[in-house]
Chain A
Amino acid sequence: MDNLGFIVAGYSLTWATLLWYSWRTNRRLGVAAHALSEWTESSDGLTDGYEADAPPA
């Protein structure tokens, strides 16, 4: 294949970008879901420390 470097770089970039974005979204989703479940627990009256359970900004 000629221009192999460009072709490999292009396909690698595409795969890396899409996998990274998917990973990032799923991770944020996990963080948000966790924060929300902690919230529900603390709102049930077990603790009052919901501010400490807020998700990282």
Chain B
Amino acid sequence: MIVTSKSGLANVIGIAALALFLVGSFVGLFVVPADGMQGDIQRLMYVHVPAAWLAFLSFFVVFLMSVLYLIQRDLRWDRVAQSSAEIGVVFTVLTLALGSMWGKPTWGVWWTWDPRLTTTAIMLAIYVGYLAIRSFADDPDKRARWAAIVGIIGFANVPIVYLSVIWWRTLHQPPSSPRSVSPEILWTLMFNLAAFSVIYVYLMMRRIRLAKLEGELEQRMAYHG
């Protein structure tokens, strides 16, 4: 395996991510007191909410990189967008699964078609579609162009997911704010959000590198074959 200087930095960040999330999980599970109303099941908040925020962040990066690609036509931006979309899909699946596990004992149902859950499912479908569409184009520039268009239009749904609980009646509660969450719970949430962000940075570094190598391979095969 080719070892590059970049993988040295990535490894350091990866180890930091691991350590942060170990501490975050430990504090969330065993140190901070659980919510008085819900009991211990509220501890799922420390993984569900960061997963959701990182999914939003991932798709915002897809949006930005798609715009940049269309302006500059540099495949570097396309590789960042592609990587962020894939990681965003992983976070979205986690968000939905964890929300389901939190919903069953509190709401009483695994799933309901309320506006928050429905728009989140649509968000997942859009970015699975984004990844799928990429496999239909053989030409890297054409593929990047199609993907960028989906990455920009598809992002319109992301703010709707966030605002759904403010605009409409839902089973899902509206977003928490520092005023509605006691300090120890808030800090535990922020710590885990930081841990998830470092995990995102690590995964992005590896995934972008992979996209770069795959791009080079594809280029050589096209040239020689």
Contact = CB atoms under 8 A, between A and B. Distances in A.
Task: Establish whether A and B are touching in the complex (CB under 8 Å).
Answer: yes
B217 A25 contact: no
Given A6-B101, A10-B102, A25 B29 contact: no
A33 B66 CA distance: 26
B44 interface: yes
Interface in A9-57: 9-11, 13-15, 17-18, 21-22, 25-26, 28-30, 32-37, 39, 43, 50-51, 54-55
**How many A residues are at the interface, by size bracket?**
20 to 34
Contacts of B39: 2-3
B217 A29 contact: no
Interface string B168-193: 00000000000000000000000000
Interface of A: 1-4, 6-7, 9-11, 13-15, 17-18, 21-22, 25-26, 28-30, 32-37, 39, 43, 50-51, 54-55
* 9 shortest interchain CB distances as A-B pairs: A32-B213, A33-B2, A3-B41, A1-B40, A14-B47, A10-B44, A29-B210, A10-B101, A30-B1
